[in-house]
Amino acid sequence: MKISENFRALTPNYLFAEVAARVAAFTAEHPQKNVISLGIGDVTLPLPECVVQALRAAAEEMGEQASFRGYGPEQGYDFLREAIAGYYAGKGVKLNTGEIFVSDGAKSDLGNILDIFPRGMTVAVPDPVYPAYVDANIISGNKTVFVKALPENGFLPLPDKSVKADVIYICSPNNPTGAVYDAEKLRLWVEHALATGALIIYDAAYERFITDKALPTTVYSVPGAEYCAIEVCSFSKTAGFTGLRCGWTVVPETLAGGSVNAAWLRRQCVKFNGVPYVVQRAAQAVLTPEGLRAADEHIAYYLENARLIAGALGEKGIRFFGGENSPYIWMECGMPSWEFFDKLLDSAQIVGTPGAGFGSGGEGFFRLTAFNSHENTLAAAERIKRL
């Protein structure tokens, strides 16, 4: 019994464990100090009432003979796929329900989609980035090339014609940098993919944080993307579903003559049994006018937190990215990021995430997040100003 050699190439991921260990050590030494975490990438507001109501109603349905539902379609119930198609129609993008696959969240599909492609592909991944892209490709035996996101390009790298990749991962709004591609820059990526035959895997998990109407919230707002891009999205950050697990993946029927869509459907039918009915009903509730209003109240709450942090950093003259159209603030820390972690914890009792945890390109930067209460965020902003 042998483990795949690919697992040897994975570097242990101790990022959040190390953060927790250092915070625990600090708290043990200074039990009277009030530590505020701006390090969490997880939502903090409870589910909107209409979502709870939908969950409750679906639970009741499942307890009655007449309305009980067993196995659902692997690709999701039509009621939810139609609601998602309607959501895209509101963005001016026309999708067939057959192009929409309901998922248990972005992370699963961002990795599992590799099942349908050959091993040993070359995959372009921005650096710094959400570590799961890289790890999933290592597990699949693919070769990763890094596209450098730098302060000089606003952490929004553009295509490099010298790089020949089979797959290109793009995350916008970006985790961890908070940077958001505009339509023009996104068009350059789509043109590059079309010219080179590459597939774009577009992670739009934070799209609902985009309040600037000029910025694209879906890759399909760029003409031609339906011939080169898969989009992965999620209810996690939109409506507090991180503990409820629901998202979707768009696989256009125009992609490689429908073969990608057919292969993904087949893969899901073999290795997935769909998302819980009750969760799909909850997700459907998010996409009603009432649900979207509640979601936007959440988003506004977090964006106000981001504004508070950005304001404090601005007042101190600290360079940062993100903080608008994103729950993330990516600040320059002027020293190794773990050193800054200790310094900030010690001097201001604020916890953040060292940029080095998101790839070597994250060194010298530090991620702060908007996922806390106004009160705590305000207190943290005041502490930053006083530093």
Exposure string over 236-262, b if 16+ CB within 10 A, otherwise e:
bbbbbbbebbbbbbbbbeebeeeebbe
User: CB-based contacts of 70: which residues, under 8 Å, 6+ apart?
Assistant: none
Instruction: Select from 37, 75, 112, 377 the one that contacts its own copies (CB under 8 A).
Output: 112
- Choice from 98, 111, 224, 336 touching its own copies (CB under 8 A): 111
What are the φ/ψ torsions at residue 77 (nearest 5 degrees)?
-70, 145
Q: Which is nearer to its own copies, 47 or 331 (CB)?
A: 47
CB 210, CB 180: distance < 8 Å:
yes
Paired strand residues for 169: 201
Which 227-286 residues touch its own copies, going by CB under 8 A?
Answer: 228, 240, 242-245, 255-256, 259-260, 263, 266-267, 269-279
Contacts of 50 (CB under 8 A, 6+ apart): 285, 288, 290, 291, 294
Distance of CA 141 to the CA centre of its chain: 23
User: Closer CB to its own copies, residue 332 or residue 376?
Assistant: 376
Label residue 232 left, alpha or beta by phi (over 0 means left) and psi (-120 to 50 means alpha). Answer: beta
Instruction: Give the residue from 155, 210, 159, 206 showing the smallest Cα distance to 179.
Output: 155
Q: How far is C-alpha 196 from the geometric centre of its chain's CA atoms?
A: 26
CB of 142 to its own copies, least distance (A): 12
Among 27, 108, 122, 288, binds its own copies (CB under 8 A): 108
Q: Which of residues 139-168 bind its own copies (CB under 8 A)?
A: 139, 141, 166
Cβ–Cβ < 8 Å for 77, 279: no
Residue of 36, 43, 85, 286 interacting with its own copies (CB under 8 A): 43
Binding segment for its own copies among 88-96, 135-143, 175-183, 296-304 (CB under 8 A)? Answer: 135-143
Q: Quick check: 68 binds its own copies (CB under 8 A)? A: yes
Q: How far is the CB of 124 from its own copies (least distance, A)?
A: 14
The interface with its own copies within residues 345-364 (CB under 8 A) comprises none
CB 333 to its own copies: min, Å: 26
Report 286-325 residues binding its own copies (CB under 8 A): none
| SS3 state at 254 | coil
Find out whether the peptide bond into 157 is cis, omega within 30 degrees of 0: no
| 115 lies in the site for its own copies, by CB under 8 A | yes
**Residue 46 touching its own copies (CB under 8 A):** yes
Residue count, binding to its own copies (CB under 8 A)? 76
- The residues with which 171 forms a beta bridge, in sequence order, are 203
- Interacting residue with its own copies among 28, 32, 65, 214 (CB under 8 A): 65
Binding residue for its own copies, selected from 82, 104, 253, 363, defined by CB under 8 A: 104
Q: How far is the CB of 116 from its own copies (least distance, A)?
A: 6
Q: Which is nearer to its own copies, 4 or 153 (CB)?
A: 4
Residue 116 touching its own copies (CB under 8 A): yes
Which of these ranges, 46-54, 168-176, 180-188, 324-332, lies near its own copies under the rule CB under 8 A?
46-54
> Does 64 help bind its own copies (rule: CB under 8 A)?
yes
Tell me if residue 103 falls in helix, strand or coil: strand
- Helices (H) and strands (E) in the chain — how many of each? 12, 13
